[in-house]
Amino acid sequence: MPIVTPLTKLLGIRVPVVQGGMQWVGLPRLAAAVSEAGGLGVLTALSQPSPDALRKAIRETKKLTSKPFGVNITLLPTINPPDYEGYARAAVEEGVRIFETAGNNPGPLIKFFKSQGCIVVHKCTTIRHAKSAEKMGVDVLSIDGFECAGHPGEEDIGGLVLLARAANDLKVPYIASGGIADARGFAAALALGACGVNMGTRFMATVESPIHQNIKDTIVKSSERDTVHIFRTLHNTARVFKNKVSMEVVAIERRPGGAKFEDVRELVSGARGKLVYENGDPDYGIWSAGIAVGLINDIPTCEELVKTLESGVERTIGNLQGLVVAKSKL
């Protein structure tokens, strides 16, 4: 039986799962495969070198799927500040109607997308930020727990408490992000009032994910203890895979007197991290991973994965219903 939620209705998708925007991973092949499988595929705007390249990626995705897909724009400190507005305009002009925004000071971008009649899913890591995005008119919030890959914010609140707070405090529908990679987590998110889930790391280990097979195999071999936080001391915390480079960054940050971004810049650059996905060496640079790596044991196609999630959620909800027994049957 289908899982019908405000998210499936709003986005016109079959299964309430959104593929998280992932730098260097949210490329046309993966986004299209997720959308074809019944979820929402998402292209990562900043993985394209320019707004024009994003236009090409959107056209390529449309050739691979006629189903809805979205574009992610993340606003965080960068070595070379991107033309956010240019990416946003290009995507809207190419007909994209669903956007995932994330990061600092998203107001102007959200205002622009809403003025163009688009649907905005805004990702945030605190209830405070969620409420202010609500006021800006976002359609869906993506509530990102401390378990997540990439940037979890600086307040370290896990998904269990954050989602329960969202259930009490938010008016707009929200999806759960961070730490979800299987049907149990998916069903738990629905129990916590979410209308769907966002999964990033889980989609990295799929057949259509555009990263080197060795990195997919590394994810499968890893446990929930294989991530680490970098940039804690720079107030731009990021959860990344624990490897030689990330441990070196942490060591530099722990030096007496601390570190400036310049001290770690060469080690952490996204351009170097991108090569990890190309050459398959997990120790070559920084790459994002959530603690959900501990839940990933296979490399399915997106279709197999989404189907497994769908049937697993149905089974989990059925099992829970089985716990509620009429008094007369006791």
Kindly list the residues in this chain that would bind ligand NAD in the complex (CB under 6 A).
Answer: 21-23, 44, 46, 72, 74, 76-79, 150, 231, 234, 236, 238, 261, 268-270, 273, 288
Taking the complex as a whole, the smallest distance from the CB of residue 254 to ligand NAD amounts, in Å, to 16
Taking the complex as a whole, the smallest distance from the CB of residue 7 to ligand NAD amounts, in Å, to 19
Taking the complex as a whole, the smallest distance from the CB of residue 74 to ligand NAD amounts, in Å, to 4
Taking the complex as a whole, the smallest distance from the CB of residue 11 to ligand NAD amounts, in Å, to 18
Cα distance between residue 29 and residue 34, in whole Å: 9
Taking the complex as a whole, the smallest distance from the CB of residue 62 to ligand NAD amounts, in Å, to 20
Taking the complex as a whole, the smallest distance from the CB of residue 269 to ligand NAD amounts, in Å, to 4
Long-range contacts of 112-116 (CB under 8 A, 24+ apart): 112/85, 112/88, 113/88, 116/92
Closer of 25 and 188 to ligand NAD (Cβ): 25
Cα distance between residue 205 and residue 304, in whole Å: 12
Closer of 13 and 73 to ligand NAD (Cβ): 73
Q: Which residues pair with 226 in a beta bridge?
A: none
Closer of 56 and 232 to ligand NAD (Cβ): 232
C-beta separation of 187 from 316 below 8 A: yes
Position 306: which residue type? Answer: V
Closer of 238 and 313 to ligand NAD (Cβ): 238
Closer of 150 and 178 to ligand NAD (Cβ): 150
Q: Which residue's CB comes closest to ligand NAD? A: 270
To the nearest 10 degrees (0 to 180), the angle between helices 159-169 and 127-135 is 40
Closer of 27 and 313 to ligand NAD (Cβ): 27
Cα distance between residue 315 and residue 319, in whole Å: 6
How, if at all, do strands 238-241 and 227-230 pair? antiparallel
